[in-house]
Amino acid sequence: MAQAELSCFDERCGARYGITEVLYNCTKCGGLLEVRYCGDGYDPAALRRLFRERRMSQASLDASGVWRYRELFPFLDDYKHVVTLREGNTPLLEAPRAAEYGRLDRLAFKHQGFNPTGSFKDNGMTCGVAQARRLGMRRVACVSTGNTSASMAAYAAAAGLEALIFLPHGQISFGKLAQALEYGARTLEVEANFDQILALVRALAARLGIYLLNSVNPFRIEGQKSIILEMLDQRDWRAPDWIVLPGGNLGNTSAFGKALREAREAGLIDSMPRLAVVQAEGAAPFYEFVARGGEFQAVEKPATLATAIRIGDPVSWPKALHEIRSTGGTVEKVSEQEIADAKAQIGRSGIGCEPASAATLAGIRKLTARGVMDRGADVVAVLTGNLLKDPDYIYRYHTGELEAPDGTKIRSSFGNRPVVVPNDPDRIAELLR
Ligand SMILES: *Cc1c(COP(=O)(O)O)cnc(C)c1O
Ligand SMILES: [Zn+2]
């Protein structure tokens, strides 16, 4: 059995902690924490075979598209703590029409919207909730208006834990809130902004016996590695040239980079894909930082209709920066119009996704135009959330009523307006001729 510990991500600090300490940041320097393992290496051929054999297994751990890869995140001492909703197991879809739009010969989407609550947050949440149970916690909490709260509510309910969701009052994304209510989470609307609420909840955590499942939680990051592992498995461990994903808090970027480094060290892949992170123009602090250098600067009032990436002060940027550098990756930003049009193109491929996910195809289109990405490159884009998360946005786009946060109209370039017709066979036949 491998040894797991919590380690400060900042090499200059180097603080280490036991795997069962309840910590969200390094107590020495305040930095981010990461789970690290030491132990005997694995035989990569045997591991690949084991992962493949588990696809035939009916055991719930093996049937999970996260826990199937558990040798690569062995932080639990006993798998009885695991609650699975059969997360992961998401398809890798070839998308020739979207490829054409992105000016690529070929493009595949790894679609995390096929998860039980409709986003990639489930990949991480099953691990975060397992750690909460292992620690004997009864209550879990997060600050979120979106997919994190939906996912946490579902896993907490399945695990018999109490779920507390803290939301900024009046900034509620309805479809995602509806999920949290249905899964039975206690939902508190606080009269403060996201950053203030996060500070408040951190201060309350010990007092209320809460285990925090925000995106800095290092165990969620461990689970999100499985997105990459499953994708590589689906490609028989042939690494693509590029992996493209949207960037908000940058937890997923951190997870993807860690997964790739560890897969390489384990001998599962022999080349390193490059990560391309795409942000929305109105919430692009990481793009600006990488493009300009200097100090990291938060965006005071992040604004984008892609609410899942509407983050001004992404907590995981130091990890993400490391992963972009160590994979020779890049960061791009895209406009509201570009996101909306790319999203419609993903829809027309018969695939569909929520707005934040479409930043990937919009970003690819820019990166190929700029010559950063070659037309012949082998590219996988990760669609992070399900089409039905945000139906209001879709209806407005197709009927020409969608407006960007600054009030400018978004062109309905690939609009598909419903038509009202009378109950008259001749008129309908005429219309459809
Ligand atoms: C959370 C989320 C993101 C952003 O991921 P980060 O890890 O915060 O960068 C993007 N898309 C969707 C659908 C999400 O739910
Ligand atoms: Zn530290």
Q: Is residue 158 part of a domain?
A: no
The count of domains in the chain is 1
Q: Is residue 409 part of a domain?
A: no
Q: Which atom of ligand 1 is nearest to the CA of 121?
A: 15
Q: Is residue 403 part of a domain?
A: no
* Range of the structural domain that residue 359 is part of: 92-116+222-398
| pLDDT score for 144 | 83
Q: Is 320 in the pocket of ligand 1 (CB under 6 A)?
A: no
Mean pLDDT of the 369-375 span: 98
Q: Over pLDDT 90: what percentage of the chain?
A: 89
- For residue 307, the CA-to-ligand 1 centroid distance in Å is 9
Q: Is residue 193 part of a domain?
A: no
Q: Is residue 317 part of a domain?
A: yes
Judge whether 244 and 278 are in contact, CB under 8 Å.
yes
Q: Is residue 168 part of a domain?
A: no
Residue 194 has pLDDT above 80, yes or no: no
What are the percentages of helix, strand and coil residues in the chain, rounded to 5?
45, 15, 40
| pLDDT score for 145 | 66
Q: Which atom of ligand 1 is nearest to the CA of 254?
A: 7
Residue 90 has pLDDT above 80, yes or no: yes
Q: Is residue 230 part of a domain?
A: yes
Q: What is the DSSP string of 56-125?
A: T--SHHHHSTTGGGGGGS---S-GGG----------EEE-HHHHHHTT-S--EEEEGGGSTTSBTHHHHH
Distance, first Cα to last Cα, the chain: 68
If one residue of 87, 142, 147, 221 were mutated to test the ligand 1 pocket, choosing by the most ligand atoms within 8 A of its CB, it would be 147
Q: Is 90 in the pocket of ligand 1 (CB under 6 A)?
A: no
Residue with the smallest CA separation from ligand 1 atom 5 is 248
Residue with the smallest CA separation from ligand 1 atom 8 is 249
Q: Is residue 407 part of a domain?
A: no
Residue 319 has pLDDT above 90, yes or no: yes
Place of tokens 């929305």: 280
Considering every ligand atom shown, identify the ligand nearest to the alpha carbon of residue 13 and give its number. 2
Residue 171 has pLDDT above 70, yes or no: no
| pLDDT score for 254 | 98
C-alpha Rg value of the chain to the nearest Å? 22
pLDDT band at 93 (very low <50, low <70, confident <90, very high): very high
Q: pTM of the entire structure?
A: 0.97
- For residue 224, the CA-to-ligand 2 centroid distance in Å is 23
Residue 1 has pLDDT above 70, yes or no: no
Residue with the smallest CA separation from ligand 1 atom 3 is 308
Mean pLDDT of the 315-331 span: 96
Instruction: Please give the residue that has the higher pLDDT: either 175 or 136.
Output: 136
- State the CATH number of the domain containing residue 282: 3.40.50.1100
SS3 call for 127: helix
Q: Is 123 in the pocket of ligand 1 (CB under 6 A)?
A: no
Q: Find, among 286, 356, 283, 273, the residue nearest to 316 by Cα.
A: 286
Q: Is 285 in the pocket of ligand 1 (CB under 6 A)?
A: no
Q: Find, among 385, 147, 370, 363, the residue nearest to 275 by Cα.
A: 363
Mean pLDDT of the 71-98 span: 98
- For residue 33, the CA-to-ligand 2 centroid distance in Å is 8
Q: Is 168 in the pocket of ligand 1 (CB under 6 A)?
A: no
pLDDT band at 39 (very low <50, low <70, confident <90, very high): confident
pLDDT band at 172 (very low <50, low <70, confident <90, very high): low
| pLDDT score for 198 | 82
> Could you read off the pLDDT of 111-123 as tens digits, one per residue?
999 999 999 999 9
| pLDDT score for 178 | 92
pLDDT band at 306 (very low <50, low <70, confident <90, very high): very high
Q: Is 360 in the pocket of ligand 1 (CB under 6 A)?
A: no
| pLDDT score for 213 | 96
